[in-house]
Each structure stands twice: as C-alpha cells, then as structure tokens.
Amino acid sequence: DAKTTQPNSMESNEEEPVHLPCNHSTISGTDYIHWYRQLPSQGPEYVIHGLTSNVNNRMASLAIAEDRKSSTLILHRATLRDAAVYYCILRRNSGNTPLVFGKGTRLSVIA
Amino acid sequence: EPEVTQTPSHQVTQMGQEVILRCVPISNHLYFYWYRQILGQKVEFLVSFYNNEISEKSEIFDDQFSVERPDGSNFTLKIRSTKLEDSAMYFCASRGQGQANTGELFFGEGSRLTVL
C-alpha cells in the first residue's frame, strides 16, 4: 500500500473545527483514501472514505486535493469525545486488500 | 446497531500455552480480519479470511497462528504456543459484501492477551 504521512499529534479547542492533514504523494489511481479513528481503549472505527471528490457524512468531511496527493479530514465541531488517534489509510482497489494502519495523528481536544 | 463481539475481553496465560480468541462478526458479513496492537504501538494486520480460506497474511502470522470459522457465526484466532511477545490487544473485524474495496470495516472491542 502507498505510504501516508500525518502529523504525530494535534490539539483543538472544544467546539472548534479541526483539520487533520494527510499527505500521500505516491497514491495510485485506484487507491481509495480511508480515515479511521481509535478512541482510547477501543477498536478502530470507520470515519469516512473517498476516491476523488470531497465527501461528507454525519461524522466528518473529507477534502481531497485535485492531484490526490493530499487530503484533509475535517471535524466541523470538535467535542471531547473526538479525542482519538486518526488514521489516514490508502487501500488499493484489488481483491480483499486489508487496511494497513500507520501511526496516525493523536488529536487532543481541550475543554 | 450490529456489532462485532469478541471474547474473552482479557485473558492471562502462561508462556507456551495455547490460546483461542473468539469473534462473532456481523451476521451478513463475508470478509473477516484479525489485527493486533501491542501496547503503545500501531495496529498491525495479521490475516484476512474469505470464503473459508485465508486471503492474505502478514509476516507476523507465522505457523504458531491459525484461524478458523468453525460454524456459521464464529471466527477464531488460535495461538498454538504463546510467547511473551504475543501480549497485545487482538482486534477482530468484518466487512460486508458490498463494494469489496471500499466497504467499511467494523472492528470489535478487542481481546487483551497477557502472556506471563
């Protein structure tokens, strides 16, 4: 799987938007961009995914650069419950390819 | 909301003992996975399973590990002879048929294995 680069940690104030960046300069044309998060003492949890167009769901928005070499996960209004490690993962469009997790970004939310 | 359930939540075992970790994936899912996470480290892929056979496995998944779907609901991970370095949180995940490469993986809460 193509490699992604994320900041080790970020901090946000509660009720403010958070933009979590991810660089994936070696992305291939069939790689989907997935975001998962892991709350403390829990298993990973799906957040959102996309291919080329920006995506929105109830949890977050995903903004994908036009050249697809970077993307940004946007939490519109951070809550204390959003404190977690956020993983940006590229997953190749072939067969039963597993998700391969990196170190992710540890997001702290300050009340 | 359907969920992946794992048992036991925590198991303590002596080095060299066999351990079986159990998972009940979401009922209509067809793709199954095991991951592990050593304390303070990243989540590591172990094995994927589909149509009653292993699809892919990592180099961590050596001959000491095996997976099985003994009936229509359970998916198990067996460690034949545990080592100290097998101490970790083990996560089971499953995925529905849908779009094979974009479908969401649902993870369980994990089984913590402590090898003494």
The DSSP secondary-structure symbol of A98 reads: P
Residue A97: predicted pLDDT? 80
Give tens-digit pLDDT for A53-97.
999 999 999 999 999 999 999 999 999 999 999 999 998 876 678
The kind and range of the H/E element at B93 are strand B88-95
B105–A44 CB contact, under 8 Å:
yes
pLDDT at B101 over 70: no
**Contact residues for A59 (Cβ-Cβ < 8 A; gap 6+):** A47, A48, A75
Give tens-digit pLDDT for A11-35.
999 999 999 999 999 999 889 999 9
B105–A43 CB contact, under 8 Å:
no
Q: Which residues of B touch A36 (CB under 8 A)?
A: 105
